[in-house]
């Protein structure tokens, strides 16, 4: 799902959510050939603010690499990575320690589509997130 197409009902549920912590996993679907990293970051910031309204600590996992761009006409790996890196940089600048760095190896930790994580990649991702939260990061 892209941040510019989140349904109203989902945002309503987000505002009503009363949890202690929320993890936003970014998939990179917002990135297109002519997209603007600052605009994508601003939409993510609005999403973070919406989820944090009730006092939940919001954490964001950085956007990971991908290899198949067939569903995004005109988008190349170079353009995707340039925008992805810019968005991740904006996130680290604004949210600091609340951004989870995902050290997956490309393409080793990806399935045959080169978009989604393989079973081993998901397991690795799970352990990264678990380690992050078990260390008692701020606001939990």
So where are the chain's domains? 18-134
List pLDDT tens digits, range 110-139.
898 888 889 999 999 999 999 998 887 655
Res. 57: pLDDT tops 80 = yes
Give helix 8-16 / helix 37-52 axis angle, nearest 10°: 40
Once rounded to an integer, what is the mean pLDDT over residues 49-77? 88
pLDDT above 90 covers what percent of the chain?
47
Res. 25: pLDDT tops 60 = yes
pLDDT at 137: 61
**pLDDT grade, residue 83 (50/70/90)?**
very high
pLDDT at 139: 56
Res. 1: pLDDT tops 80 = no
Domain 18-134 in CATH 3.40.50.1110? The answer is yes
Mean pLDDT, rounded, of the chain: 89
**pLDDT grade, residue 23 (50/70/90)?**
very high
pLDDT at 82: 96
pLDDT above 70 covers what percent of the chain?
97
pLDDT at 48: 93
Q: Are 109 and 124 in contact (CB under 8 A)?
A: yes
């Amino acid at each position: 799902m892209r941040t510019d197409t989140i349904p109203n009902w989902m945002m309503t549920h987000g505002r009503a959510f009363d949890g202690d912590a929320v993890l936003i996993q970014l998939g990179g679907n917002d990135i297109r050939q002519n997209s603007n990293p600052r605009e994508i970051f601003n939409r993510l910031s609005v999403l973070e603010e919406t989820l944090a309204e009730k006092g939940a600590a919001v954490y964001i996992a950085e956007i990971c690499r991908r290899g198949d761009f067939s569903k995004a006409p005109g988008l190349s790996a170079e353009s995707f990575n340039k925008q992805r890196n810019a968005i991740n940089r904006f996130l680290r600048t604004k949210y600091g320690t609340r951004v989870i760095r995902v050290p997956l190896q490309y393409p080793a930790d990806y399935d045959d589509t080169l978009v989604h994580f393989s079973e081993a990649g998901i397991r690795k991702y799970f352990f990264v997130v678990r380690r992050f939260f078990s260390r008692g990061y701020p606001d939990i």
